[in-house]
Structure 1
Amino acid sequence: MRGWTAHGACRRKSPQPDLATDAPRRVSSALSITLEPVLPLFHAGPAPKASGPRRGALRDGLGLQPGMRVGLFGGSFNPAHDGHLHVAETALARLGLDRVVWLVSPQNPLKNAADSAPLADRMASAAAVAHGPSMIVSDFETRAGTSWTIDTLRVLVARHPDVSFVWLMGSDNLAGFHRWRGWSDIMRLMPVAVIARPGSLLDSRTAPGAQRFARFRVPAAQARLLPRLAAPAWTYLTAPLNHRSSTAIRAARDARDADG
């Protein structure tokens, strides 16, 4: 049964040959691992391609170099809080990442725009939490003119073909991940790391997305391999839990405002 596969041979060369020559390629795991059989619950067709960035708007300012291992952490961050930092720091340490990029969405298509603070406020909120040289807060989606995660990731991969990207998300998103537009394309585009969050400690094998890609799951003990693996490959990481949530923070803030 086929599990993890290597695609390093088909990756495009960097436009900077002197740097890309030594950049690590995606590799398949040589470890002996028992992989669970895939459960073919349903078929998801490919997501539509994005129309591309607005002319003159795409200067990402991320400072990424060939060979880097970079986690991409998307969200509304409305507001950002210590729970988000917990996800980012856990991924940074457990996956051996060089950077974590916080992709602050202009507006989550799956959430009510009326409940969302202005982008500038959410960027400032994320910047106040994501401190340190390994954390980058970016409005890349606004610059790229994308609304859906799959489109944003395709643009980033095309711009940085010799960077090893990993999509990061909390386990609270795993249960509904199969409802995201192009979710299976995300799984096939880059490795995915799911970090445990309070209130969503379901068995990670029960979520439809986890079942669909069960045989590509990497044991947590080998998570540092993930950035160099060919997609699809994913892992589920547990760590001491942080119970902060954006919903609870907004509720407490609204209660204070009501009191006066």
Structure 2
Amino acid sequence: MRSTFLAPGLKVGLLGGSFNPAHEGHLHITRMCLRALGLDRVWWLVSPGNPLKPEKGMAPYQERFASAQKMARDPRIVVSGIEKELGTRYTADTLAALAERFTDVNFVWLMGADNMLQFPKWRNWHRITETVPIAVYPRPGYTLKARLSPVATMLRECTLDTADAALLPMMAPPALVFLSGPETGQSATKIREAGDWR
């Protein structure tokens, strides 16, 4: 990644995923997060392999990376292969490595409301909440459930009002905010099921 992306004080959202394939929904939620959180950049972290997803139906890494590059039609989006470079498999390890490597960058973990419900299944998820602030973007059918989830309850005292979302990148973790905005029903699963991938 070019050094211009790593200026001290930069506010960077981290959107991890398989990108199997990348689609308009990724672009939609990225722009929502850029606007609501006042971010300078969003890095799309293309995962070499998601431990919670089956390998069957997973396109090769290079194809998924290429689909993310093609879809990232915004100069503020950086498609990153840093997880592959670091050799990390779990989000907690990736975030710890990034925080150590880029000490002057203000990272925010971006996750969908659907993932918020699965969060306790993630390895060392408590460590994630202690490493970076977290912004949860709305997903159809999951937004209210995420707000009522056990993780949300646990983090209630360090949860910002949605209107104060722009403060999140500068806050020390744990810190959480639920974003609001138009929900997109697009998903990589639907694209694959329709036969529109590969």
TM-score bin (small chain): over 0.9
Asked whether the 8 Å contact 2:114–2:146 carries over to 1, the reply is: no
Correspondence 1:89 to 2:15: no
User: Please, which of 123, 127, 137 is the counterpart of residue 69 of structure 2?
Assistant: 127
Correspondence 1:137 to 2:79: yes
Which of structures 1 and 2 has the bigger CA Rg? 1
Residue pairs, 1:40-119, within 5 angstroms: 60-61=1-2, 63-119=5-61
Tell me how far apart the structure 2 counterparts of residues 197 and 212 of structure 1 sit (CA, whole Å): 21
Instruction: Please list the CA deviations of residues 115-138 of structure 1 after superposition, one character each: whole Å capped at 9, or x if unmatched.
Output: 210011111111121222100001
What are the ranges of 5 or more consecutive residues in structure 1 without an aligned counterpart? 1-59
- Worse-matched range after superposition: 196-205 or 181-190: 196-205
Deviation at 1:182, TM superposition (A): 1.1
Q: Which position in structure 2 is the counterpart of 1:56?
A: none
Residue pairs, 1:1-260, within 5 angstroms: 60-61=1-2, 63-253=5-195
Tell me how far apart the structure 2 counterparts of residues 203 and 248 of structure 1 sit (CA, whole Å): 22
Give the letter aligned to residue 23 of structure 2: H
Percentage of identical aligned residues? 48
Instruction: Please list the CA deviations of residues 127-173 of structure 1 after superposition, one character each: whole Å capped at 9, or x if unmatched.
Output: 12122210000111000010000101111111111111000011111
Tell me how far apart the structure 2 counterparts of residues 202 and 181 of structure 1 sit (CA, whole Å): 24
* Larger helix share, 1 or 2: 2
Deviation at 1:215, TM superposition (A): 1.1
Tell me the SS of whatever aligns to 2:56. helix
What are the ranges of 5 or more consecutive residues in structure 2 without an aligned counterpart? none
Instruction: Please list the CA deviations of residues 20-57 of structure 1 after superposition, one character each: whole Å capped at 9, or x if unmatched.
Output: xxxxxxxxxxxxxxxxxxxxxxxxxxxxxxxxxxxxxx
TM-score, normalised by the number of residues in structure 2: 0.95
Instruction: Please list the CA deviations of residues 163-195 of structure 1 after superposition, one character each: whole Å capped at 9, or x if unmatched.
Output: 110000111111111111111111111100000
Higher relative contact order (CA 8 A, sep 6+): 1
RMSD of equivalent CA atoms: 1.6
Give the letter aligned to residue 139 of structure 2: R
Tell me the SS of whatever aligns to 1:113. coil
Asked whether the 8 Å contact 2:44–2:79 carries over to 1, the reply is: yes
* Larger strand share, 1 or 2: 2
Tell me the SS of whatever aligns to 1:143. helix
Q: Which position in structure 2 is the counterpart of 1:47?
A: none
Deviation at 1:82, TM superposition (A): 1.3
Asked whether the 8 Å contact 2:41–2:78 carries over to 1, the reply is: yes
Tell me how far apart the structure 2 counterparts of residues 156 and 79 of structure 1 sit (CA, whole Å): 25
Asked whether the 8 Å contact 1:104–1:137 carries over to 2, the reply is: yes
